[in-house]
Structure 1
Amino acid sequence: MGQVIDKIAWINVVDGKILSTRSKGKDVYYIPGGKREAGEGDIDTLVREIREELTIAIIPSSAKYVGTFEAQAHGHSLGTIVQMTCYSADYRGTPAPSQEIAEIIWLTYADRDRVSAVDKVIFDYLSREGRLL
């Protein structure tokens, strides 16, 4: 197996739609989150990444594990897998795009073809669970 990219993501579903982002220079949408830094646990990574991307404060005590999903990493060589460990969590503030984020958007299952491969796996899971329209 090739390289594994370890990422943490924030699942925020409201009224059957999921909050997604598009980074500057990218052509697909991603569920917000990112790679952990040395020594960081899952929740530390979640709090830091979401603050950096969406300028909001995740409430660590509210974080709930949703699942871990894997797929071919978008824009990487074949065999490079992204492993996305996902959490839902409450937050303070109003989501707003940071410097690296071009757009924040609410997506439904009908938008599945507009997201990265691992996000498609997550969309499938959330749809089966009846959470995503």
Structure 2
Amino acid sequence: MSEVQSDEVCNTYIDKLALICINSNRKQLVARSVGKSVYFTPGGKREKGETDEEALRRECMEELSVNLSTLTNTAASIEPYGNFEAHAYGKPPGTIVRMTCFRVTPREAELELEHLVKASAEVEELKWIDSSFEREKLTVTGIMILEDLKEKNLID
């Protein structure tokens, strides 16, 4: 009797939401968690019963110390940007992160964030980056997002 081998890969998926924020200098906001060496697009996982928008608002408060519901000068909404999928940073092979990304609109509201965001206790550093940022300092999804923003001429 011969042994049957399968090429089928059993993947584990991590579903995350992220906020893409671009400042007045055409740079993207990224964050580095305490004790980590790479930067990620701010966001996180949904809690049970949360909508995407509720989860993103909560995560932005937790990571960026900003309330997207109360931007001061401009009525803002959260609009879908795109989806990115890749191997999850620091996870075992077969662990895939599915990142659903959003942006704040209109542009005037997004620009307000540049002066409001600040690192929370769980974030060691916030950084505004352009397309020349060192790829080895980003997660795979972070690289994909950065390249997509450059391709769409949203960042320098």
Give the alignment's TM-score, normalised by structure 1: 0.93
Report the equivalent of 1:2.
Answer: 11
What SS does the corresponding residue of 1:63 show, helix, strand or coil?
A: strand
Query: What is the deviation of 1:126?
Result: 0.8
Stretches of structure 2 that go unaligned for 5 or more consecutive residues are 1-9, 71-75
Query: What is the deviation of 1:59?
Result: 3.2
Q: Is the CA contact 1:24–1:101 (under 8 Å) kept in the aligned structure 2? A: yes
* TM-superposition CA deviations, 1:46-93 (whole Å, max 9, x none): 000000001101139511100011010000001101110000014667
Divergent runs of 4+, >2 A: 90-93
Greater displacement, 62-71 / 83-92: 83-92
> Is it true that 1:110 corresponds to 2:132 in the alignment?
yes
Report the equivalent of 1:125.
Answer: 148
Larger radius of gyration: 2
Query: What is the deviation of 1:132?
Result: 1.7
Question: What is the CA–CA distance in structure 1 between the aligned matches of 2:134 and 2:43, rounded to whole Å?
Answer: 18
Question: What is the CA–CA distance in structure 2 between the aligned matches of 1:112 and 1:128, rounded to whole Å?
Answer: 17
Question: What is the CA–CA distance in structure 2 between the aligned matches of 1:63 and 1:122, rounded to whole Å?
Answer: 17
Aligned pairs, number: 133
Report the equivalent of 2:20.
Answer: 11
Identity fraction in percent: 36
Stretches of structure 1 that go unaligned for 5 or more consecutive residues are none
Select which of 9, 25, 31 maps to 2:35: 25
Question: What is the CA–CA distance in structure 1 between the aligned matches of 2:79 and 2:134, rounded to whole Å?
Answer: 24
Question: What is the CA–CA distance in structure 1 between the aligned matches of 2:60 and 2:21, rounded to whole Å?
Answer: 11
Q: Is the CA contact 1:108–1:132 (under 8 Å) kept in the aligned structure 2? A: yes
Select which of 32, 47, 62 maps to 2:77: 62
Q: Cα RMSD over matched residues?
A: 1.6
